[in-house]
Amino acid sequence: MGKLLGQQVRAPGTIALDDVLDDLDRQHLGYYICPMGMDSRALKAALEAARKAGVTALKGFRGGFKVEYKSDSSPVTAWDRASEEIIRKTLARAFPGDGFIGEEYGESGGNTGSSWVIDPIDGTKNFIRGIPFWGSLIARVTGGKLVLGVMHLPATGETLWAVRGGGAFHNGNRIRVSRINRLSKAFLTHGGLEYFVRDGDAPRLEKLAGASYIARSFGDCGAYAYVARGMTDAMLERGLKPWDSAAPKIIVEEAGGRFTDWSGRDNWRSPEVLATNGLVHSAILKIIRR
């Protein structure tokens, strides 16, 4: 367990987000997270932005608020917008020349060659219904390549992060994907069934579920955290936007996994993604490949 609805419950062997930030200030974690002398400022800024967004969103979680619907019928609340505003302000202070790609406030160019990709509340539908599986996603892209990702799930007290070449971490502990190498033994998760049904991909999912050991629908950012931590072996989803995929992709990859589109291409902007431990990736692609 971790921080649940404003109460701090520290699990054995974990590090709270405040402690992570304190350690980064002292450079105690710098070697492990930012190898080869990489500047830890970007990671520290992303973690700080995620913490602030989480504090903001928790104020509204399980409270009364108005739900609006965007042109694509996806829901949005004032807490989504407030969280993205806080993330942008925090990152802009630390890196004033960087650009932004965000779910609620769109894209704005910068002049540094780097941009931040933001989903302030990934899992808004869960947030609205009082389900604690939602989080803030922040990624940094430099020269078109993902270099950093942070996933903060404030209602469950979990934070995952990765810097390219530095591995992936969960609440301060290094994480690795599973070693399951047969699809028949794999724990498969997938996004909302409605997306597969609407787009005619239900037969693919049905075949894949039949070939796996177990198939469950989790959806949203937490499902990618499970893959990165070795708790599940694969996550299949469609109907995504770049801000849904950017942070989970680098975290899964730095944990030793693979994250591609349904054709096996390395594309963090694809609406169709497959994240796995790498060992069952090819077997799944054979079933779902475009």
CATH class belonging to 3-166 = alpha beta
- Residue 208, token pair as written in the block: 């894949």
How far is 133 from 216, CA to CA, in rounded Å? 15
How far is 290 from 281, CA to CA, in rounded Å? 14
- How much is the pLDDT for 219? 78
- How much is the pLDDT for 35? 46
- How much is the pLDDT for 17? 54
- Residue 196, token pair as written in the block: 């597969």
Nearest CA-CA partner of 119 in 62, 45, 57: 57
In angstroms, the Cα distances linking 265 to 103, 221, 246, 259 are 24, 21, 14, 9
pLDDT in tens, the chain (290 residues): 333 233 333 333 334 555 545 544 443 333 334 544 445 899 999 999 999 999 999 999 988 789 999 998 899 999 999 999 999 999 999 999 999 999 999 999 899 999 999 999 999 999 999 999 999 999 999 999 999 999 999 999 999 999 999 999 999 999 999 999 999 999 999 999 999 999 899 999 999 999 999 999 987 999 999 999 999 999 999 999 999 999 999 999 999 999 999 999 999 999 999 999 999 999 999 999 86
- How much is the pLDDT for 92? 97
Let me know: does 187 contact 171? Beta carbons within 8 Å: no
How far is 22 from 27, CA to CA, in rounded Å? 9
How far is 83 from 135, CA to CA, in rounded Å? 11
Report which residue type is found at 276. Answer: T
Please give the distance of CA 161 from its chain centroid, rounded to a whole number: 9
Cα-Cα end-to-end distance for the chain:
39
- Residue 57, token pair as written in the block: 């969103």
| Strand partners of residue 188 | 215, 234
Domain residue spans of the chain:
3-166, 183-288
In angstroms, the Cα distances linking 108 to 53, 102, 103, 216 are 20, 9, 12, 37
Spatial CB neighbours of 72, under 8 Å, sequence gap ≥ 6: none
Let me know: does 143 contact 149? Beta carbons within 8 Å: no
- Sign of dihedral through CA atoms 73, 77, 82, 83? negative
How far is 29 from 96, CA to CA, in rounded Å? 25
- How much is the pLDDT for 18? 55
- How much is the pLDDT for 63? 81
- How much is the pLDDT for 62? 82
Element (H, E) at 247: helix 242-254
Spatial CB neighbours of 197, under 8 Å, sequence gap ≥ 6: none
How far is 156 from 115, CA to CA, in rounded Å? 28
Selecting from 3.40.190.80, 3.30.565.10, 3.30.2320.80, 3.40.640.10, what CATH number does the domain 183-288 have? 3.40.190.80
How far is 46 from 87, CA to CA, in rounded Å? 8
